[in-house]
A and B are shown apart, each in its own frame.
Chain A
Amino acid sequence: MPNRIWLRRAGDLAAIAVPTLIFAFAPSFEGNTLLLVNMMVYVALAQGVNVIYGFTGYLPFGYVGFFGAGAYGTYIAVAHLHVGALVAVILGGLFSVVVAIILIPLLRLQGAYFAIASLAAALVLSALIGNPDLKSITNGPYGADLSKIYSVNGSYYAGVVLVAFALIVVVFLQRSRFGLSLRAIRADQTSASMAGINVVLMRSIAWLLSAAIAGFAGAVYAWALSVFYPDAVFATTISLFAIVFALFGGVGSTLGPVIGAVVLYEVYNSIGVSQPQYFQLIYGALIVAVAMFLPGGLASLVGPRWRQWVTKRFGRNPGEPLPAGDV
């Protein structure tokens, strides 16, 4: 039924355009652009976790490694290659993809093994980059200075593009054959492989996409901060926040992680900055509650009702992709 297909296309377009446009025009309502940049960075990171965890089932505790790699890739590009801001941000994101290629063997591990191994890899990367012996390349623990390319507007709109990029990737996964393959692998690896899906290749591509999102997020963050230290871009809390935001919003959905990130980052901003321990208490308890009682996150409250309404209004569509599995 053409109606149904057009409705879905319009919905996908809106899912990409609405959050992007809201962020594009947000500076007219909110004067604190650094706050907005942080929020966009976390929206992207939550989507990055969504890509790798929501579609393949790998929970990366060390996700921050890609973020830090993106930030430092940008610094290295500016300090040693003397390139302009945009090229530096792109190289930063690509540096993170290179790191992800090196770490592909981690995908041989599963579950908690993978989660903790990825954390170990991020800590190794952080210790490498912050090592005083590598001062000539990364400036070690003494911090990276990007003031040469500083630009409030530039970094802000790079953040808007970042949000759009993350959303496009997720919508692509929701609708494409590739995304369907990933979900098939997640549901049953053996059967998927029997059906002719190249399990290793598909997974690796999802891993690289997820790393690219985190890498660009790190690059944008670095550009906006201008001066930063290894501890700031490799903080374990960045991984934790991204995972919590994604789970709270609902992994496997398109807009869940966006809403999760915006809502929880707002909560963090109002109480977490001055009293981080209370925010940690809230999100810790929230995660236990979500895992026990609402495994699909916020999105599972809305999603089924929306689908029901569409079905009632426009009729059933046999081509509807499989709903994402629960957490």
Chain B
Amino acid sequence: MPRIMFLYALIAGILLGFFYALMSLGLNLGFGVLQVVNIAHGDIVVLGAYIAYELSSKAHLNPLLGMLLAVPPAVILGLLIYYAIAPALGKSADPEMLSLILFFGISQVIEALETVVFGNNQKTISASSFGSGPVHILGQAIPREYVLAALVSIPVIALVFYYLYRSRLGLATRALMSSRDDAMAVGINVGRTSAISFGIALGLAASAGALSNFILGGTNPTQGVDITTTAFAVIIIGALGSPAGTLVGGLVYGLTFQFAQTYAPSWANLVPYLLLLIVMLVKPTGLVGKRVRYA
């Protein structure tokens, strides 16, 4: 029996790991280019979840199509936010603290608007359009949603990696992530590249929202804070500013969470936060990071 539980936790943890990686990738991208932790990240995930929910419940669209449609508005929102706050950040003596407070305010505004528009009740999308019953992997009955989330997350993550490592704009983005000054010196349009990257970051957050509907058991406006904290734990575990680290972080997080839930369910909720604290205090560079980067 323990062997079977172990196998279940292992498979479910890996599958969920890909989802958590996708959910956190945008936060890391935004941090990489702006040196800013976007406290509103979780609220954008929730926004994506609501858009997918509305499209599937009112327009009867497949939730995955809803996921695609949630991305463009989030990208536009990202561009708007970037251009609204960039001048103030540029002028500030302490841009880090200012951005923290600005995003804190923005997060509250988004959460409030979500409550006004979508209400306070938990919204859930039925996963029945993807068939019913668990999927059997290596003799384990794995919830269908987990498999679906992994199957969707993997190609999206692959696409982001392709963009970052193979496209010209991606190259510029990575240059910006490793050194803003050097990027500027070699003639990269820092403002435009940052804006686009921030847009993509929010787009990714929104795309994870459609899946969070299945994985986190529904959507409500107050989820934002928890999602931000979890995503922050994931990118810290990996390494801040490293997209590959986020994948590692997601898997570590998914596995830890699943094992805790299997063996000590009443303590499982502590896992993300304890993991975050331990990594931050013991190895602030993350598991794959090479150097400390201060937010």
List residues of A whose CB falls within 8 A of some B CB: 57, 59, 105-106, 108-113, 115-117, 119-121, 123-124, 127-128, 131-133, 236, 240, 243, 247, 276-278, 280-281, 283-288, 291-292, 295, 325-327
5 closest A-B pairs (Cβ-Cβ)?
Answer: A284-B108, A287-B105, A284-B109, A277-B115, A281-B112
Q: Which of B56-64, B159-167, B247-255, B269-277 contacts A (4 or more CB under 8 A)?
A: B269-277
B94, B107, B112, B295: most-surrounded residue (chain A CB, <10 A): B112
What is the size category of the interface that chain B forms with chain A?
35 or more
Query: In the docked arrangement, what's the CA distance between A108 and B284, Å?
Result: 10
- State whether A291 touches B105 (Cβ < 8 A): yes
Residues of chain A contacted by B267 (CB below 8 angstroms): 127, 131, 133
Can you name the residue of chain B whose Cβ is closest to the Cβ of A116? B232
Interface residues of B in 106-133 (CB under 8 A from A): 106-113, 115-116, 120
Query: Would A117 and B106 be within 8 Å (CB), given that A59-B100, A112-B295 are in contact?
Result: no
Interface string of B272-295 (1 = CB under 8 A from A): 111011001100100000000011
B101 an interface residue at 8 Å Cβ cutoff? yes
Residues of chain B contacted by A127 (CB below 8 angstroms): 267, 269-270, 273
Can you name the residue of chain B whose Cβ is closest to the Cβ of A128? B270
- State whether B270 touches A116 (Cβ < 8 A): no
List residues of B whose CB falls within 8 A of some A CB: 36-37, 39, 85, 88, 93-94, 96-98, 100-102, 104-113, 115-116, 120, 221, 225, 228-229, 232-233, 266-267, 269-270, 272-274, 276-277, 280-281, 284, 294-295
- State whether A280 touches B280 (Cβ < 8 A): no
Interface of A is mostly: helix
Query: In the docked arrangement, what's the CA distance between A132 and B269, Å?
Result: 13
Known: A113-B280, A277-B221, A327-B94. 11 other contacts (CB 8 A): A57-B97, A59-B100, A110-B295, A120-B273, A123-B273, A127-B270, A280-B109, A284-B112, A285-B109, A287-B102, A292-B85
B100, B106, B113: most-surrounded residue (chain A CB, <10 A): B100
Residues of chain A contacted by B229 (CB below 8 angstroms): 116, 119-120, 123
Interface of B is mostly: helix
Q: In the complex, which of the residues B37, B110, B115 contacts A116, with contact meaning CB atoms closer than 8 Å? A: B37
Some 11 contacts from A to B, beta carbons below 8 A apart, are: A59-B97, A117-B280, A124-B273, A240-B108, A276-B115, A284-B110, A284-B111, A285-B105, A288-B109, A292-B88, A292-B102
Residues of chain B contacted by A325 (CB below 8 angstroms): 93
Q: Determine how close the nearest CB of chain A comes to the CB of B260; give it in whole angstroms.
A: 12
Residues of chain B contacted by A247 (CB below 8 angstroms): 101
Can you name the residue of chain B whose Cβ is closest to the Cβ of A236? B225
Residues of chain A contacted by B106 (CB below 8 angstroms): 284, 288
- State whether B100 touches A120 (Cβ < 8 A): no
Can you name the residue of chain B whose Cβ is closest to the Cβ of A277? B115
- State whether B115 touches A326 (Cβ < 8 A): no
- State whether A327 touches B98 (Cβ < 8 A): yes
- State whether A111 touches B294 (Cβ < 8 A): yes
- State whether B109 touches A281 (Cβ < 8 A): yes
Q: Determine how close the nearest CB of chain A comes to the CB of B96; give it in whole angstroms.
A: 5
- State whether A116 touches B97 (Cβ < 8 A): no
- State whether B281 touches A105 (Cβ < 8 A): yes
Query: In the docked arrangement, what's the CA distance between A112 and B225, Å?
Result: 14
Can you name the residue of chain A whose Cβ is closest to the Cβ of B88? A292
Query: Would A124 and B104 be within 8 Å (CB), given that A108-B281, A281-B113, A281-B116 are in contact?
Result: no
Residues of chain B contacted by A119 (CB below 8 angstroms): 225, 229
B96, B120, B274, B295: most-surrounded residue (chain A CB, <10 A): B295
Q: In the complex, which of the residues B88, B98, B107 contacts A284, with contact meaning CB atoms closer than 8 Å? A: B107
Can you name the residue of chain B whose Cβ is closest to the Cβ of A240? B108
- State whether A291 touches B98 (Cβ < 8 A): yes
Q: Determine how close the nearest CB of chain A comes to the CB of B64; give it in whole angstroms.
A: 30
Query: In the docked arrangement, what's the CA distance between A116 and B235, Å?
Result: 13
- State whether A112 touches B37 (Cβ < 8 A): yes
Query: In the docked arrangement, what's the CA distance between A285 and B294, Å?
Result: 27
Query: In the docked arrangement, what's the CA distance between A294 and B36, Å?
Result: 21
Q: Determine how close the nearest CB of chain A comes to the CB of B255; give it in whole angstroms.
A: 19
- State whether A283 touches B108 (Cβ < 8 A): yes
Query: In the docked arrangement, what's the CA distance between A292 and B276, Å?
Result: 30
Query: In the docked arrangement, what's the CA distance between A120 and B112, Å?
Result: 23
- State whether A291 touches B270 (Cβ < 8 A): no
Can you name the residue of chain B whose Cβ is closest to the Cβ of A57? B97
Q: In the complex, which of the residues A113, A124, A132, A240 contacts B274, with contact meaning CB atoms closer than 8 Å? A: A124
Q: In the complex, which of the residues B98, B110, B112, B295 contacts A278, with contact meaning CB atoms closer than 8 Å? A: B112
- State whether A277 touches B233 (Cβ < 8 A): no
Residues of chain B contacted by A111 (CB below 8 angstroms): 96-97, 100, 294-295
Residues of chain B contacted by A283 (CB below 8 angstroms): 108
Residues of chain B contacted by A295 (CB below 8 angstroms): 98
- State whether B270 touches A124 (Cβ < 8 A): yes
Query: In the docked arrangement, what's the CA distance between A236 and B111, Å?
Result: 14
- State whether B277 touches A291 (Cβ < 8 A): no
Query: In the docked arrangement, what's the CA distance between A291 and B39, Å?
Result: 15
Q: In the complex, which of the residues B221, B276, B294 contacts A120, with contact meaning CB atoms closer than 8 Å? A: B276
Residues of chain A contacted by B232 (CB below 8 angstroms): 116
Residues of chain A contacted by B280 (CB below 8 angstroms): 109, 113, 117
Query: Would A277 and B225 be within 8 Å (CB), given that A109-B284, A291-B101 are in contact?
Result: no
Q: In the complex, which of the residues B85, B98, B101, B108 contacts A280, with contact meaning CB atoms closer than 8 Å? A: B108
